[in-house]
Structure 1
Amino acid sequence: MKWTRSWIAGLAALVVVLSGCVSDAELKEKAKGHIRIGEANIQAGQYPQALKALQEAEKLTPDDPKVHYDLGLAYDRMEFIDEAVKEFQKAIALKPDYSEALNYLGTIYLEKQGKYEEAIVLFKRALANPLYETPALPLYNMGRACVAKGDLKGAYASFSEAIRKEPRTHLMPVLELNLGVIDYRQGIYLEAERHLQKSVERAPNLAEAHYWLGMTQMQLRKRKEAAESFRKVIQLAPDSEWAAKSRENLSRL
């Protein structure tokens, strides 16, 4: 009799545990539905609707780093920067090797808060994850942070490493552009021309790359090629600052 009671009590406890597990699974599945809706709304540019869906997901699974990452995206797109920072920090606290969140928070520090050193620390942490599939992105951002703080050597190393680690990255045109501009500023014109030619070959509509190619060709006394580059800038982006500068340069050729 005593054994029977113990067995029944054990079964009751097991039922409670199992029902709790099912409940957790149901909560997670329901949260995933809200996350999917939130992400779809972010893609569609419907940020208030995204925020509403993601806040519902947060109520169900407050310890899910993905929820906080997506909340950070929504807040950032709505220009609520402080709230975005808090959400990315929560995501990172829950998942310290969350490279996407580390990179995004670093980008906010770089572009919107001028915290270049803090940004570089986050980009390095993003790169420390061997499973991160797009290392060129934080390396590119780290290069931009180095440029912003006047460290051209560090920037050149970061852009070069991005190309080495991810030779098929979609960032290749801007990586080559940045390497070319740094070489130009340091008076290494042949190398600058090489990088800038690669940039325009990969992205023929990138007006800024054509502008710097023209500037480099001027320094190399390639007047005809420089004129062609400046005309290309004007054709691609007639109302841009690059076009205005190109017109000035054409008048001097």
Structure 2
Amino acid sequence: MRKTLVIMLILALVSCAGTTEKNPCKNPEYAKVMKEKARADISRNDFYAALEDTLSAKKCNPKDPEVYYLLGQIYWKWQERDKAKENFTQAIKYNPDYPEAYLALGDMFLQENNLDSALLNYQKAANDDRFPEAFLAWNNIGWIYLQQDRLADAEQALMRSISRAPNFCVAYCNLGEIRSKQKRYEEAIKELKKAIQLCPNLARAHRLLGLEYNRMGKTREACAEFELARKNADPESDEEKSATQYLKLLNCPTANK
């Protein structure tokens, strides 16, 4: 669908080429086409082409917030974090109601473990009821509150995430961890099983479920979950290392595999 749209827009440009060869921005569709091309470039990880197309659109309207959001995405993919933040911030300057930019900034600050700045940006993204990905912001708000041991606030945020995206497994996983901290262990198991039902490869949910089974003295079930956690975790990640540690502590049959 997107490819078809890009082709149609390009054809529209070609039809007007005679009057816009020296200044393509005179064609009102030109910047739109360049941004659509840039989004397509980003989706296939062609960031150099995306940068070229985005800068072409920027020439037509240097105050277009979407241009800066696209630039932020490109620089973030290149791990040029300062440039990415600068462009996301510029996008918000020209459009203070830009939830995608707030969400992106929140993610960047979260990666840096700057929880206060991440929380501030997530809250601005989450409070836009028109934003289709508000559930991601609410989940991340819940996770931050969970790290701060603000369990009631975390639960409320996660329930908002789930209400917007009932099949979002990560929110159930986070909610399961909250239930465990609240010593509501049966409910914790229920939420973690729901997370695994939705996302069978979610390593963290398997590890947390393994902890619940271990708490109950169900060693065989715990070993099975820790093995699934190790299998599905990213290699050399903290998740994999934690699962391996528990496999060894419980003398699970697969501990040394």
**TM-score bracket for this pair, using the shorter chain length:** 0.7 to 0.9
Distance 1:131 1:24 in 2: 33
Report if aligned partners of 1:71, 1:87 keep a CA contact under 8 Å in 2.
yes
Q: Equivalent residues in 2 for 1:100-249 (5 A)?
A: 100-112=100-112, 114-168=113-167, 172-237=168-233, 240-249=240-249
- Tell me, what secondary structure is at the counterpart of 1:62? coil
Do residues 98 (structure 1) and 98 (structure 2) align? yes
Distance 1:234 1:24 in 2: 54
Tell me how far 1:142 sits from its aligned partner. 1.4
Tell me how far 1:56 sits from its aligned partner. 1.5
Bigger CA radius of gyration: 1
Structure 2 counterpart of 1:136, one-letter code: F
Tell me how far 1:242 sits from its aligned partner. 4.2
Gaps of 5+ in 2: 1-18
Structure 2 counterpart of 1:193, one-letter code: I
Question: Percentage identity across aligned positions?
Answer: 29
1:73 alignment counterpart: 73
Q: Equivalent residues in 2 for 1:5-16 (5 A)?
A: none
Which structure has the highest helix share of the two? 1
TM-score (norm 1): 0.79
1:8 alignment counterpart: none
Tell me how far 1:163 sits from its aligned partner. 0.8
Tell me how far 1:215 sits from its aligned partner. 0.9
Tell me how far 1:131 sits from its aligned partner. 1.6
Distance 2:46 2:210 in 1: 41
- Tell me, what secondary structure is at the counterpart of 2:250? helix
2:10 alignment counterpart: none
Distance 2:28 2:105 in 1: 26
Tell me how far 1:130 sits from its aligned partner. 2.6
Distance 1:116 1:235 in 2: 30
TM-score (norm 2): 0.78
How much is the aligned-residue C-alpha RMSD, in angstroms? 2.6
Cα offsets for 1:166-203 (capped at 9, x unmatched): 324xxx21111111123334433212111111111111
2:32 alignment counterpart: 32
Distance 2:144 2:56 in 1: 36
Gaps of 5+ in 1: 1-18
Distance 1:106 1:234 in 2: 29
Tell me how far 1:223 sits from its aligned partner. 2.9
